[in-house]
């Protein structure tokens, strides 16, 4: 009799262990895997923010904001000939910089980048400065939900990250979205043939 009880208990424990193993396998299989390229990019961006002596955020025009009727007189020969109109420039405080580091470090590391086929028209640039000058520039386009950084590349932009950037831009008093063409016209800095 005793032998049967031991065997029965052992089988119960084995079943329970097997059930636990199946549940663990299912749980691990259902979690999203970490997107390594996005994670590495996120970490590098957070490190760049942290090591910068100071950071400036610029809200500005972009080449596509200029009306076509301004080009017959203005006729830029290259992209570099088109002026950039600054609408705002903010130097982040130490507290804002630290909050940005924390925000970027909290970005979802499982978020997969999404490639947009819209025109990349960035109206916000984050400049990372050292004591010697600009280290790198990070451009954001909320129109196409994209970003570009001259210090690293990531194919596509995770949508959840774009929402975080939108929140950050709004928190520092800038506009994530606007009628950019209208702002260029109101600036008085565009030659328009009448």
| Residue found by looking up tokens 């570099």 in the block | 80
Q: Within this chain, do residues 15 and 78 fall inside the same structural domain, yes or no?
A: no
Q: Give the distance, in angstroms, between the CA of residue 121 and the centroid of all CA atoms in the same chain.
A: 15
Q: Which domain holds residue 106?
A: 36-187
Instruction: Indicate if 134 and 72 belong to the same structural domain.
Output: yes
The answer to the question of residue 176 being in a domain is: yes
Q: Domain for residue 194, yes or no? A: no
**pLDDT tens for the chain, residues 1 to 194:** 455 555 555 556 566 655 655 555 544 444 455 578 888 999 999 999 999 999 999 999 998 887 666 555 555 566 676 778 999 999 999 999 999 999 999 988 777 777 777 888 999 999 999 999 999 999 999 998 899 999 999 888 888 899 999 999 999 999 999 999 899 888 877 655 44
Rg (C-alpha) for the chain, rounded Å, is: 26
d(CA 165, CA 175): 11
Whether residues 104 and 120 share a domain: the answer is yes
Same domain, yes or no: 158 and 111: yes
Q: At residue 51, what are phi and psi to the nearest 5 degrees? A: -85, -10
Whether residues 82 and 143 share a domain: the answer is: yes
Instruction: Judge if 112 and 66 occupy the same domain.
Output: yes
What is the DSSP secondary structure assignment for residue 37, as one 8-state letter? H
Provide the number of structural domains found in the chain: 2
Residue 192 covered by a domain: no
User: Domain check: are 2 and 55 in the same one?
Assistant: no
Report CA dihedral (135, 91, 163, 64) to the nearest 10 degrees.
-80
* Domain shared by 105 and 169, yes or no: yes
Reading the block at residue 114, the tokens are 């999404």
- At a CB cut-off of 8 Å and minimum separation 6, what does 2 contact? none
What are the Cα distances from residue 143, in Å, to 33, 117, 176? 28, 11, 9
The answer to whether 85 and 60 are in contact (CB under 8 A) is: yes
- 110 domain residue, yes or no: yes
For residue 1, give both structure tokens: 């009799």
The Cα–Cα gap between 75 and 103 comes to 42
């Amino acid at each position: 009799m005793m032998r049967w009880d031991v065997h029965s208990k052992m089988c119960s424990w084995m079943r329970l262990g097997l059930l636990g193993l199946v549940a663990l396998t299912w749980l691990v299989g259902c979690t999203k895997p970490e997107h390594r390229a996005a994670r590495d990019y996120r970490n590098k961006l957070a490190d760049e923010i942290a090591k910068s002596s100071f950071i400036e955020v610029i809200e500005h025009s972009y080449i596509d904001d200029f009306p076509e009727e301004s080009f017959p007189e203005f006729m830029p020969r290259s992209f570099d000939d088109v002026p950039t109109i600054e609408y705002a420039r903010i130097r982040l405080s130490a507290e804002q910089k630290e909050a940005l580091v924390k925000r970027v470090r909290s970005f979802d590391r499982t978020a997969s980048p999404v490639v947009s086929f819209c025109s990349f028209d960035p109206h916000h640039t984050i400049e990372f400065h050292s004591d010697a000058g600009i280290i790198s520039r990070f451009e954001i386009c909320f129109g196409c939900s994209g970003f570009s950084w001259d210090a690293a590349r990531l194919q596509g932009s995770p949508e959840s990250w774009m929402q975080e950037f939108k929140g950050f831009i709004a928190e520092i008093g800038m506009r994530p979205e606007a009628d950019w063409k209208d702002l260029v016209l109101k600036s008085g800095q565009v030659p328009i043939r009448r």
